[in-house]
Amino acid sequence: MMMNIFQGKLVSLVAEDPQVVADAYAQWNRNAEFKRLLDAEPAMLWSAKKIKEWLEKEMEESEPKFFSFQIRDLQSGKMIGFTGLGDLEWNHGDGWVGIGIGDSEYWGKGYGTEAMQLALRYAFTELNLHRVTLGVFDYNPRAIRSYEKAGFKLEGRLRGEMSRQGNRHDILIMGILRSEWEMA
């Protein structure tokens, strides 16, 4: 009951100072590979000042629309990424999860998978959701493997939903039910 739901073996979910977050995001955004794996918005360079303003505006809201966390490497204490749950349909117990590991030193080593497991624990034990959904691009096999390890199942693909360098790519939709999470 009193376990620390924010802490795993490799990483913990934390709330960093907006200045630290803004500096890191501004730096990560310069990495085109990271941006193209992260989301389908056009890559854009926002200043740390602008990002900090958004973060501070978000802090003023009494109820967050998006339950977001920063991911901290337990060993070095470094902030390495972020995750969050949003687009919550409370009446149906459904929500979407997103995650990004901005520091590429930490790619492919299980940090993202563990952070996702913490986000899922939060979704099912704190938000009491019935299921969690995510979208991932067909050219991101590392993320797909990580989500499968965390227990997600492929639920379908939006054919050619996005265009990259003149080619169409699918967005894969994956989901995990509370019952599946409890079994794992």
- Residues in the interface with other proteins (CB under 8 A) total 24
Q: Of 127-156, which residues contact other proteins (CB under 8 A)?
A: 130-131, 133, 155-156
- Between CA 127 and CA 113 the distance in angstroms is 20
Q: Of 38-67, which residues contact other proteins (CB under 8 A)?
A: 40-42
Query: Residue 94: how many CA atoms within 13 Å on its side-chain side?
Result: 7
Instruction: Choose between 52 and 131: whose C-beta lies nearer to other proteins.
Output: 131
Sign of CA dihedral 31, 132, 20, 143: negative
- Report if residue 173 touches other proteins, rule: CB under 8 A: yes
- Between CA 100 and CA 83 the distance in angstroms is 6
- Report if residue 163 touches other proteins, rule: CB under 8 A: yes
Instruction: Choose between 105 and 148: whose C-beta lies nearer to other proteins.
Output: 148
- Report if residue 37 touches other proteins, rule: CB under 8 A: no
Instruction: Choose between 26 and 177: whose C-beta lies nearer to other proteins.
Output: 177
- Between CA 122 and CA 8 the distance in angstroms is 12
Q: Which helix (H) or strand (E) holds 178?
A: helix 178-183
Q: Catalog residues that contact other proteins under the rule CB under 8 A.
A: 40-42, 89, 91-94, 130-131, 133, 155-163, 168, 173, 175, 177
